Each structure stands twice: as C-alpha cells, then as structure tokens.
Structure 1
C-alpha cells in the first residue's frame, strides 16, 4: 500500500493495524453469571463501615464523633452481655448435667450407722483419763410421724421456711447470700437439703467446689426422694448444740422431755440453735434466735398472734442436769472446759465434728496435781461448815497450761466456782496497784502515809497491828496489806483505770461469760470507768478465781502473758494431727519485754515475803502470793469471801472460799471468821507442797531495781496533810497479815454467780459508819 501518490506507505507499528478479519460486533456479549462463592463484590464493603467517609462528605463534629463512638461501645457491650448471659444460663446447666451422674447423696441409714464415735480424753502424760460419749450416740432413727407438726415447722422456720417449694436449694436464698457477702456481710444461703448434705458428709470447707457439689447432691436427693424423707433425715442428723445430734436428743438435753411433749415455743428455742450450736449456752444469742423463729412461724401462720404475744423465752434446764453421764465430781468440770475449748475459735474443730469422727484429746491436766488439788480441799475442809464452797485453779507460768482444775466437789450439779462466778478480789488485787505505780515510775521503796484518815471524802483505816510508821514503804505496806497506802496511791497517783489496765494486762479478761451472759470486768455500771474502791479489791474489782491464777502466773513468768489452755493436741481416728497448741506469748506490762520483766520481778520481790507468815512452801521453796478477804455488807466483823493466790517460778495457783448465798458469813469449825491465810491459805499450801514434791527447788531471779527500790534510811519530815484522821479505832484483825478498812460504799447482798457493781461515781460520798473494809 502506498502512502500517497508516488510515495510508499511506511509500515504500521504493532497494535495500529486495522482488524479487518472479523466483522464489527453490534451488541456486547452478556457475561456468564459467576458462582456466588467466588463472585467479586460489586461494591466496596468499606463504604458501609462506620469509619468510612466519602471524600465529598463533610467531616463529623466532635459531638457526632463522640455519639458514634458511644454507639459502637454499647453495641459491643450488648453483644458481650448476651454472650455472658448465655454462658451464665447454659454453663451451670451443663456443669450440673455433667456432675449429676457422678455424685451420690448420703443415705440417712448410712449416716446413722456412722454417727458419733467415742472421744477419748488423756492426761498430760498421755495416759487415758476417760472415754466420753455424747447425747444421741445410740439414737434410734426417727420416722416423720413421730415428729409433732409444730416441731417440724419450728425447724423449717429456723432454717428453710420455703423447703416444700424448692428443688433442693433456694435460689432466692442463694442470691440473697451472695449479695450479703458481696456487701460485707455473712450469710450461707444453704437450704435445708443442702444443710443435710453438709452435716451428713461432714464437709464444710468454704470453697466454691464444695458448694457446687453440695448443690448438685441436694438437687439429686430432691429428685430421688420426697420432701418428707429429706426432712426426716435432717431431723435425725442436724446438730442442736449441747452435744445433741437429732431433735430427739435435743429435746432431752434442753428440757428433759420427750419430743412429743415440747411446746411450740420450746421447739422454736431448740430449732434456733441449729445455726450456731456452739452458742447454746449464750442466753442473749438464744433469745435472738428464738425471737427470729417465732416471728417466722407467725408470718407463715403456723402460730397465731395471741400465742406469740403471750409466750416468753423458755429457760432450758441447766446442761449439768441433762447431759449424759461422763466424768464425775471435779473431773466433770475438766471435761466441760475441754469441750468448750474444742468449740472455741482457738481450736477451730467443734465438738460436733469431733463426735462424728472420734478423736483423742490430750489435755494439759497433770494427774498427780489434779489429785493433789482434790486431796488438799478434802483434807482442809473436812469437818468444816458443809455450806462452804471452794475452787482451786493451777496454771504453769512458762506455758499457760492448766495443770489442775477443781471447780467444786459436786461436779456438774452445782456452780463452776472457778470460771462460772465473779467475786470481789479483796487485797489479792493490790499487786495490780503496784504494777500501775511501777509503770508510772515509782518504786517499792516509795513511801505513803499509812495513818487512818479520810481520803477524797472516804474514811480509810487499817488493822491495829501495823508495824509501819506514818510514812510506810510500799513493800512493807503490801506485806501488812495497809489499805490507806494503796487507796491513797490509786486515788491521788495512778488513778483506778491504770489499775484495771494493769490487771487486764496480767491476764484478767475484759469480758467473761457468767451464767450465759457476757459481762465486762473491772468496770462500773454500763462500762463506766471503775471507782477508787478497786484499789483495795472492793466495788468494781470483781474477777473469776481462775483468772487470778492466770494473772499471777504472769508475775511468775517474769512479765510474759500466756493465755491459759486445756488442750495440747487432738488426733483423729488414724492418729492424724487435727490440732496442736502453739505458744502465743507476749510482754504484759510494757511493749519492751525487758521493762515488762523488770516490773514483774519487782512485784515478786514484794510478794515473796507474804507466804512466809504461816503458809510457807515446804523444803525452803520460794513462793510468792497475796491473801485477801471481802467483808459482809452489813457486818464489818465478818467476811463473805476469802482468797489465797500465789506462785513459784513453775506453778501459779488460786484458791477461793465462799458460799452460794454470797453475802453471808464464812466461819471455820470454831466459829471464827475465815481469812485468806486461814482455810484458803492452808488449801493452797497443802496443794503446792504435794504438786511440787520431787521437782527441782527454784528461786526467783533477783530483780532489777525500778524507781526508789530501797526505802529512805531515815525518817523525813512530811508536810502537814490536808486530810483528817478518822477518830474511830478499828477492831483488831484476828489474822496478823490481814488488814481492814472502810469500803468506798456498802456492798449490796448478791449471789455467788456474780455481784452487781455497787457504785458508778468516781468518789462516792462517805458512809457515816466507819466499818472494816472487805480487803483481806
């Protein structure tokens, strides 16, 4: 082809040549539909994303962006919530479905066959003291028709009022318990069926695994048996306190009745103990639980308002009258203290569990010392007034172990005269005055005016047998028990609170349980500070005899306090160690152990002179101690209580003598008033000599002098006193180491269990009658 006339046409570049081989296509050929699985998207997916913006669209404002972000967040939260809700619903259902065929619930007959094993008590040397059983050990299985309707309903009201409506567990109760615990409270949430599982298996670990397994077992039990069967099993198994498993045994130990004879009110009291059976002897707790059960029964229509309003809290019989036979005489009180300790927070085992598995309990009680205590009491009181009551408690200062415990000859039939009664301590309380003085920098050589006089408006006097001059050193005043010195010391120097604090530091508990009620010690009415009468062991100086042995043990251990205990260890059926006592000692009188030691040693330096006057220990053994009495409120020539508390480096013992009536005269067989160095002192000496016979003779360490350790070598002039001497001459004491004085206020008559505080004011008005004081 030519490029024009007369010229050749240049060759075309590739791609520029015309395609003339095929005819032109008139219409576009239609594409074949692609497969959906491989089809390319027709549109960009990002255009629907929240973050996609067309370049032509205006930018969002900050508020719009914030709303958009919030919308995205809530969308994700909703999705997560739906997923979580699904898991919450389906997860437990799946877990229960998996666990259901794998668990078995305890059959009542199997539980009955394995209930309550024997508990063996051992002396401190490991030899057997006794085997003890508990109420219900041989209990026959109840049938539901044996249980009165009001008894069933009392138990349901106490523990699971909606029992017959729930499937083995109460979902509302569980949710409520979760909420209470989440907000800092305490609640179990277990229904009656779950409680049966826990009691029957003995498994109560506070773990989610145990709780879940318990719930599945309860659900399975509800499916495989009826509610009546479950309730019957529960009534045969649950622990009601006082060692009673099952309602039949509980009816006996609380009211000594057959179950069919219980009133609805009595049944409510027993049922109320299921929650915390270890508090069965706490009257305040019993009343609280009884009111709860009665109110629940009223709400459910199981009793009417007339009955609810007319009923008063039932008073169960004294446990000592209803418990099955065990140890007798003084040893019965030892058993009681051991059982109380098993139930205490210190041990953390509970008698309920101990009964279920059968244990060996190794006590601190020394067989020879316990025998010595009983023999000493019997020998000294033989032929004396049959109404005299006494207690003897002995504690090892270096450990806190109770080595002997004599709380009364009648065992459980009478009062526990060691830990079940509080009494005015008399002059045995004066060593705590000395502790308070030493803590403020004074020494045993410091002097005070010993003449009878009115101090802060109160007439105070001594016995006429004092050998001290007007200015008497504290050491000599303690030996002669001069009330004027110690009342002056507390009224004008230490203050009564410092004395109470010193006693608490030594080992007098701030709160004790007396007759089922908590009582504050060494305080005035409603917890007020004690008055000055505490200086001479009167008014607010009320203590348990057992605690005085503990407090003086702190002096013996050179200022180290150790809480008294009765159990060294507990072994299970296979000799596995379930509990072991550990020493938890601490300086008593000062955080600095050295200073606390020095204070105790200075007290001992004074007290070791007192037993030398008629009740010295045998074999020239060094002993320290203090006597004391409390006089009658209406007869200054007679005493109503007498004490001797003393110690060696290895043993501390407290002896108390009084009468059940409290405010009556205690006299020996010759009709003479009993003083501390009399019958109590003789019992103490006889016991200490026998208990320590054959043991090494130890001496007290020489004290490091504190303050003015030695009295002035020559008399010094004393400024005229602003106080007025009493013109009344006191009667002479019949006991050379006993002194007498006028109390801060006449003590009202009271029973042996505990005297009420007689004064709340710091300084009561003087009594116009100048009587002897109950201080020695």
Structure 2
C-alpha cells in the first residue's frame, strides 16, 4: 500500500536516497528522532502557535510583537495573514450579528408566550380551589350593627335573604336564567368557563395602564365569591385557573345555579331569590321577563340600583340581548315599559320602627352608594359595626318636638312635616325626622322637592354681597311693582309699603319684601349669581330622587331659571334636608361641609375600615376671610328674625333663621291666596335645623287645626323652636361673632331738601288687598307648575299659556317676619 501523501520526505529512512532494508541490502541502523532536525516540529525556543481566531476578534500584529515573542522569518509558512475587512464589510457583519440576536430573542419570547402560561397553569392548577356556593352563602349574610354617635347601640341591619336556602337548577325559572345570561354571558353554555379573546384583550389593556373586564360568567362567580376584584393581571390569572378548574370539575348547569344563588344584585340582596323580593316583593316564578331583565342588569354595578337613568339603560340592553337570543320576541320588547321597582325603603327588613327607621335607610343608602369605600355587600360579608352621626339626645328632641306640635297639638293628619339637624362644625347629621312610619314609608326630608319661598332669600343676599352690595344698599320697597317682561305685578304681603321707596336690604330681609329682592336679583345682581350662591351654600346641583337624577335650580330647558327664583318660587325647588345643610354654611361662617351619616366603620376584630375625614370648603370666596365676612353679614340680619317672628330661642340664646311660605295662585280656585308649603330654617353656632310643613298633594292649601292659613312662624316655626330649646338645653350659651361690615353696610344718610325745591309727587295710591294676616311679609306664588320630583307632590297650579314666564305673582306671605 502506498503511503499517504506527505508521509515520507526526501532523505528520510524510507524515502528515495535513504538507507534501505530488506533482502540483499545492508541493515539500516534504527532511527533516533531526537538527534534529527525536522521542520514538522516547532523549534524548542518558540512558543506554541495560538489557534486561529474569528475575524471579528483578530488582534493587530504589533500586539503579538509586544507580547515579547521572537521573530523567525522561516516560519512565514505557518502564519497566513487574512485580508483586512473594509468598513462597509464590518458594518454589514455587525448588523448581521445584531439581527441574529434579535431573531433568537424573538423565538425565545414566542416560545415563552405559548409555553409560559401553559406551564404556569399546570403549576397553579393543583394549588387552587374554586369556592363552593354553600360556603359563599354562609359568609354573605352577617349582621350589620349600628351605633349612635356616643357608642350606644341603635339597631341591627339583617340581610333580606338571611335564612335563604340554596336553589336547584330546576327551581330557577327560565326567565331568570335567560335574563342573567343575556346580561353577563350570552354564550355561557358554549365556552369552557372563560372567553380567551376577552381575557387576552383585558390583559393587554391592563398591562398598558387601562382598565378592562373580560370575565365570563364562571370567572365572575369566582370574582364575586372570593371578593377579590383588584384590576391586576395576577388576580385575572388566578381567577382564570380557578374558573378552568371549576369548569372541569362541574358542569354548566351547576355553575349557573351557584352564580344565581350567590351573586349580589344591590339593595342588600345576595342571590336572585332575595333580589326578586327587594325589587318587586315577588317570588321568582312570578317575575315577568322584563322585571327579570331589570334585576339582572344590576349585576354589573349594583350600587347604582337607585339611579333610574342607569337602571333603564341596563334594562334595555338586557332585554335586547334576550331578543337576539330569541328568548323573547320583538313584539314583546316593543310592548314593554320600564318596570319600575318598589322604593328601596319599602322592601327592606324592618330593623327599627318609627322615625328612626329612616335613619337606617340613609345609612344603607350611603353604603350602597359606596360613599365610605365600604360597599353594603362588603359590610354584609364582614359583619361590620357602623358608628352613625346621630346624637340620641337631639334625635329624641326632634321626635318630641314634632309630637308636641303635631300630635298633642291635634294638627290635621293631612299635614306632613320633616326636620333635619346638622352640626355646622362637621357636617354630621345629628337628628333626622323624615316621617313617622319608619322604613318603607315616604321620606319627607330627602325624598321630595319643594319650593322654599322666602327662606331662599338669604342666597339672594349672598349674591348681592358678592356683587358689592351691602345690608345698607337701597331699593324700592313699595308694592305692587311691575317689571319689564312680567305680566303680573310683584307684591309684598298686604301690599306692605312701610319701607317706602328707599328701603335698605336689612329692613327688606326682616320684613321679607318681595319687591326688593325681585328687583335686586332680576335687575341688579342677576339670576345666575343667585343660583351660584345657593349651590355654594350647600344646595346640590343634582339629586337622585323619584324617577332618577334631577338638576336643581335650573330652567325648564335646563338653562337659567326665571326671576321667580329670587322669591323661592317657580324653578326654585329644593329638598328640606339640603336647606339645613345650606344654612349650616352660614353658621360655620362661610365654610361648607358635606352632610353625612357615617362616622366610622369597624370590622369584627376592631379594625377601622373607614373613618370620616373633615373636608372643609371655603364656600362664598376662595379667600376664607372674605367668605367668612359674607356669611357673618348674612347672620347679622337673620339673627333678628326669630325674635320678630315670635319664635326666639330660650334664655336669650343667639339664633338666626328665616321663615318662608309658598302661596297658591289664582288658578288654584278656592285655595287661591293660601299657602301650600311653610318653612322655618335657622341655626346657632353649633346646630342648623330645617323644618318643612306641607301636604302630599302639592296644590292644596295647608291649614292648622283651627282652619287658619299656616305660615312659617306657625306650625313649622313652633316645631323648630321646640326642637332648638330641647336639643340645646344645658349647653353653652354661644354668641355669633360680630360681623365685619361689607360694602354699603348702613343706609345712606338722608339729606334734607331745601324749601325752594318742589317736593316730589307722592306715589300713586295702590289698592290694598285683604289678607288674613295683613302684617305678614310675603312669600311666593308661581304662575307656572314646578316639579316636586314625586307623584305625591304635583305642580301647584296649571300653567296659563298666555302668561309669559315670570316670578309668579309673588304676593304670597312670609309668616311672622315683622
């Protein structure tokens, strides 16, 4: 066999010319490699050649020289210098390397995207468990305990479904099943417990800083049952794994049944069975598809159950989803009207009877609206203790005052009243009397809108003070007076002309002269500023009442109301509760604090879950000193009224306030000229109280037991006086601070007219109208209907198309301000 190429070299022992062995040849001495020089081995004095490096890691030749290695020109054959790369070639090489790394990273990311969740689910699956409906129900109906402000126990709130039993799938009507599926997961029976697309979309939105849902009905059950609704990816992941496990270990019917037995529907109702009672007082089998649709629509945001606008929107959505699934037909949908539920208070368990029952309703409504950050659902699950703002002494004083005047005084049963007392220093509601019949009865403090009459005039004064006017500014106080654009003259009570043509605002407030305040608001200050002043004091811009949200102090077109608002008539409608809050701002010297019922919420272990924090707002001016001066000037004149109205506070205690009445117009027939509402709103530095008296029918006269017309200083004034005396008995005799005079504080000094100047013509004689109380200041009498927000309080009279918008005659009476 021939040797491999390069296996022999000339002169070697086996190469040509070398010694030969074999037959006939002399023996060759053995080779001694150590004594021979060979070019195949490097010299002993030279370092071993390094392995070739990558092109991108080559080092310059001078770097090798610096290493101290000797140079051997004979070794050139062993070092092949490769050509250097150009800059363009190096750039392309670097770019290629970068893209290679990007591709590798992308492949790894895609692999993790698909394999990561699978691995995570596989790891988490055996570690989690889904909540069983029986366990969930056991935690949902704990008792809520209410305390008075001093720590005494008031009552307990129990759940509407406290002793409920778990329903089976067969016991649940199809109307209910269909409505809930339409509202929350119409494709529930077609998915494996979760909607992958919805979850991916929700995760992406949340990862990019947004907020989104994406839960199917199974996931919703997990969320509601665990009470964990944090908008985080980790919560979503855990929820998904539990939903997947629940779907594997049970069927769709079991899941839907668990959901309907435990989900929260608002109004304190866990489970659809309890919800059908608190919304319609019906068994589930008796619900119509339309009623079931409304209840199901509340699952999404149960705290908005009393918002009619929201409830209507959700009801329409659910009903339309049911139509799309052919669970109802188009003809049924077209024939439906909004299935208005029963009132919230009417359907709640009777935990406290009498007037104090309405306090329980207010506390529960505050929880439902999540004003405290603790929902009613959470409160039920936890079994919390709630400390209210109600002072037991003042609450008793309110109940005794009403009973003393209305019951012992034998006033007609047709008369209705309310009393609210608020602490100006905190905004805490200290006493609340909204009706005698307790929970389920109509609330006359927060459930009705009424014309405040002349008790609205302090807001006129605030606007005037802000506009540079003062208590000494002069207006024409004669009566009657005509104003451009108003067909009906404005009159004072009994056409009172005692203040004359140059009437100071202070005197006009004490006498409650309509002509002065109408002139001030319509011709001088402006209606918008008056509306703003009322809102600044504490009249809300919008309240949720009757059929839904209603804006206050706006015109029929939603814009600026007409001039009748200056006299507390026409579009000037307010809740009695809010008048107590607004006058509390005067008592607090221009600081507004929102009224509230809940001081503190604690868990079973004493942990404080909520604590009310004081949030004072400078009401009438950003500068608190200016706001204080405005409020003090208002108090400076209002403190003269209780005494002039013959309802002063006992012992000479400082107190201020304003009476008001709303008079029926001529269209009321035999009731024309009589009052339909009467008020007394007043305060001391430590308490503000509002009393309203009227009837369920807003267009009927109010008469006392003797048949006489009721004024503000009458029945409501006496209730207010009795309450203030009882509530403040034994407390410090507080005084109002002296007011810093603003603007024209005193009327200008009259200058005598020289005899050479002819006297001005006397004002034309005005025929006087008869009145049962001619000396009483005036109230308001609108010529157009005003909304009360309730069926029990319709407009006072029918509008006359021929009468242009105006203040509405304005010749009612304000009781006892003289």
Between 1:628-637 and 1:280-289, the stretch displaced more is 628-637
Separation in 2, partners of 1:191, 1:553: 49
Matched, 1:772 2:811: yes
Matched, 1:476 2:476: no
Matched, 1:444 2:478: no
Residues 506 and 589 in structure 1, CA contact (< 8 A), matched pair in contact too: yes
Matched, 1:161 2:186: yes
Residues 510 and 641 in structure 2, CA contact (< 8 A), matched pair in contact too: yes
* Partner in structure 2 of residue 521 of structure 1: 552
Separation in 2, partners of 1:727, 1:193: 79
Residues 680 and 690 in structure 2, CA contact (< 8 A), matched pair in contact too: yes
Structural mapping, 1:335-346, within 5 Å: 335-346=360-371
Structural mapping, 1:554-593, within 5 Å: 554-593=585-624
Secondary structure of residue in 2 paired with 1:281: coil
Separation in 1, partners of 2:812, 2:635: 25
- Cα deviation code 1:396-434 (max 9, x no counterpart): 000100001111112234321111111111100100111
Matched, 1:739 2:763: no
Structural mapping, 1:191-340, within 5 Å: 191-340=216-365
1:707 to 716, 725, 743: 743
Please state how far the C-alpha of 1:349 moved relative to its aligned partner: 0.6
Please state how far the C-alpha of 1:726 moved relative to its aligned partner: 9.0
* Partner in structure 2 of residue 113 of structure 1: 138
Please state how far the C-alpha of 1:117 moved relative to its aligned partner: 0.7
Separation in 2, partners of 1:25, 1:311: 118
Matched, 1:622 2:622: no
**What is the TM-score with the length of structure 2 in the denominator?**
0.84
Secondary structure of residue in 2 paired with 1:404: strand
1:461 to 483, 491, 494: 491
Alpha-carbon spacing, 1:185–1:44, altered in 2? closer, same or farther (3 Å): closer
2:173 to 148, 152, 156: 148
Separation in 1, partners of 2:760, 2:118: 88
- Cα deviation code 1:283-315 (max 9, x no counterpart): 111111111111222222222223223333222
Residues 436 and 498 in structure 1, CA contact (< 8 A), matched pair in contact too: yes
* Partner in structure 1 of residue 442 of structure 2: 415
Between 1:205-214 and 1:675-684, the stretch displaced more is 205-214
Matched, 1:677 2:716: no
Residues 492 and 813 in structure 2, CA contact (< 8 A), matched pair in contact too: no
- Cα deviation code 1:86-117 (max 9, x no counterpart): 21221122222222222222122222333311
Between 1:426-435 and 1:104-113, the stretch displaced more is 104-113
Matched, 1:396 2:423: yes
Please state how far the C-alpha of 1:510 moved relative to its aligned partner: 0.5
Alpha-carbon spacing, 1:144–1:631, altered in 2? closer, same or farther (3 Å): same
Residues 479 and 737 in structure 1, CA contact (< 8 A), matched pair in contact too: no
1:379 to 396, 401, 404: 404
Residues 461 and 730 in structure 1, CA contact (< 8 A), matched pair in contact too: no
Alpha-carbon spacing, 1:60–1:26, altered in 2? closer, same or farther (3 Å): farther
Residues 662 and 779 in structure 2, CA contact (< 8 A), matched pair in contact too: no
Separation in 1, partners of 2:550, 2:209: 28
Please state how far the C-alpha of 1:172 moved relative to its aligned partner: 2.1
Between 1:745-754 and 1:159-168, the stretch displaced more is 745-754
Alpha-carbon spacing, 1:256–1:715, altered in 2? closer, same or farther (3 Å): farther
1:426 to 420, 429, 453: 453
Separation in 2, partners of 1:108, 1:192: 14
Residues 508 and 551 in structure 1, CA contact (< 8 A), matched pair in contact too: yes
**What is the TM-score with the length of structure 1 in the denominator?**
0.88
Between 1:397-406 and 1:200-209, the stretch displaced more is 200-209
Separation in 2, partners of 1:725, 1:519: 45
Residues 426 and 629 in structure 1, CA contact (< 8 A), matched pair in contact too: yes
2:631 to 600, 613, 636: 600
Between 1:708-717 and 1:492-501, the stretch displaced more is 708-717
Residues 567 and 810 in structure 2, CA contact (< 8 A), matched pair in contact too: no
Please state how far the C-alpha of 1:536 moved relative to its aligned partner: 0.8
Structural mapping, 1:62-211, within 5 Å: 77-178=102-203, 186-211=211-236
Please state how far the C-alpha of 1:625 moved relative to its aligned partner: 0.3
Alpha-carbon spacing, 1:44–1:429, altered in 2? closer, same or farther (3 Å): closer
- Cα deviation code 1:314-360 (max 9, x no counterpart): 22223333222221221121011101112334301111111111010
Between 1:313-322 and 1:551-560, the stretch displaced more is 313-322
**Structure 2 portions without partners, runs of 5+:** 1-9, 19-37, 41-48, 58-81
Please state how far the C-alpha of 1:742 moved relative to its aligned partner: 6.3
- Cα deviation code 1:31-85 (max 9, x no counterpart): 9xxxxxxx999996669xxxxxx97999869xx98x9998877665544333222
Alpha-carbon spacing, 1:43–1:119, altered in 2? closer, same or farther (3 Å): closer
- Cα deviation code 1:19-42 (max 9, x no counterpart): 978686699x9x9xxxxxxx9999
Separation in 2, partners of 1:571, 1:629: 44
Separation in 2, partners of 1:184, 1:730: 70
Secondary structure of residue in 2 paired with 1:412: coil
Matched, 1:537 2:568: yes
Please state how far the C-alpha of 1:221 moved relative to its aligned partner: 1.5
Secondary structure of residue in 2 paired with 1:381: helix
- Cα deviation code 1:204-261 (max 9, x no counterpart): 2333333322222222211222222111111111011111111111111112221122
Larger radius of gyration: 2
The count of aligned residue pairs is: 741
Separation in 2, partners of 1:439, 1:83: 70
Separation in 2, partners of 1:476, 1:340: 43
- Cα deviation code 1:593-627 (max 9, x no counterpart): 10100000000001000000210000111110000
Alpha-carbon spacing, 1:489–1:171, altered in 2? closer, same or farther (3 Å): same
Alpha-carbon spacing, 1:647–1:752, altered in 2? closer, same or farther (3 Å): farther
Please state how far the C-alpha of 1:463 moved relative to its aligned partner: 2.0
Please state how far the C-alpha of 1:774 moved relative to its aligned partner: 6.8
Residues 538 and 774 in structure 1, CA contact (< 8 A), matched pair in contact too: no
Separation in 2, partners of 1:461, 1:516: 36
Separation in 2, partners of 1:40, 1:721: 126
Separation in 2, partners of 1:395, 1:767: 34
Alpha-carbon spacing, 1:479–1:654, altered in 2? closer, same or farther (3 Å): same
Alpha-carbon spacing, 1:333–1:127, altered in 2? closer, same or farther (3 Å): same
